[in-house]
Amino acid sequence: MKAPFVTAGEVVTHIDVLTVTLSEAGLSGHAETMGVDYLGETVASMTAQLSAFTEGDVSQLIAPSGMIDLPAGGSRNGVDCALWDLRAKQAGGIEQLTGCKLMPVETLFTVTLDRPENMAEQALAVPHLKQLKLKLGDEDTLACLEAVRSARPDARLVIDANGSWNRGLLEALGDALARLDVALLEQPLPVAKDHGLERLNYPVPLCADESCQGFADLERIADRYDAINIKLDKCGGLTEALKMADWCRRHRKHVMVGNMLGSSLAMAPALVVAQHTDFVDLDGPLWQREDVAEPLSIEAGRIFPPSPGLWG
């Protein structure tokens, strides 16, 4: 990473990823996945999960439902997105498969957890980026938010608490978050305690991240959150992510498309979902010292569609 990526739960200085390649009749599809680290997924565990299929036809992985016959998570994400890439190459482009022309989208950029003055400095260092996602814990929370808002009155602000708050802090900060024009509050409470959000009339929209791993969780948490953060690594690929986004639109939930960090290859499939979302959080490549050979073009926070050589 260019700098430590600090959240309420961890400090990330590097990431390990797995690249999946599927080949057929002279064409190859590629994808990058890193899994869900807080659920114990690693490159080693994903490699072990996929190793049983490396000698056989990929078609044996496809269930009658059309889903990859693997559990939700990094392994399925890698196979699913590589298969989308392969089929896109065979069809002449991802737009031929989705019927949707990919357009540029504007991503959030993460301001990592630090002292209030340092978070303000981070925000000031990127004046060209107009959408910021603040990693906030349960200490100096309001001071950090006020420092960033003072430094960047022009920015759209989203807060990600990574489940580090308690109910008391959540209630105490509600009016201040509204006053400081926070657009969204992501995962304020731990997964095991978010039942306390049910039918809560909070001043700022609440978004599920860790509380929603995939499509199967949506009905259970529908009365707790106003928005859903869809991540391909969590739900197991683009196929399920599109299914989740469709459910959210039908049930009038805001949608964020997010990332677990990663290169342009990891972000590219998520741009399909990002075409019709309220929040885009695909800043992973901006945090890496190096990217893939044909990276996404990102200018002033705007991510442009991938080149055919990258994905799709």
- Per DSSP (E only), the strands in the chain are 5-6, 11-12, 18-24, 27-33, 105-106, 109-111, 131-135, 156-160, 182-186, 206-208, 227-231, 254-258, 279-280, 298-299, 302-303
Residue 51 has pLDDT above 90, yes or no: no
Q: 105-303 belongs to which CATH class?
A: alpha beta
The pLDDT tens digits for 252-276 are 999 999 999 999 999 999 999 999 8
Residue 56 has pLDDT above 80, yes or no: no
Query: What does the alpha-carbon distance between residue 163 and residue 135 come to, in Å, rounded to a whole number?
Result: 11
Could you give phi then psi for residue 18, rounded to 5 degrees? -115, 130
Residue 148 near residue 134, CB atoms below 8 Å: yes
Query: What does the alpha-carbon distance between residue 298 and residue 198 come to, in Å, rounded to a whole number?
Result: 38
Q: Which pair of structure tokens corresponds to residue 198?
A: 């049910």
- Parts of the chain belonging to CATH 3.20.20.120: 105-303
Residue 241 near residue 258, CB atoms below 8 Å: no
- Parts of the chain belonging to CATH 3.30.390.10: 18-93
What pLDDT is stored for residue 258 in this prediction? 98
The pLDDT tens digits for 220-232 are 999 999 999 999 9
- pLDDT band of residue 55 (cuts 50, 70, 90) is low
Q: Across the chain, what does the average pLDDT equal?
A: 95
Query: What does the alpha-carbon distance between residue 97 and residue 105 come to, in Å, rounded to a whole number?
Result: 20
Q: 18-93 belongs to which CATH class?
A: alpha beta
Residue 59 has pLDDT above 80, yes or no: no
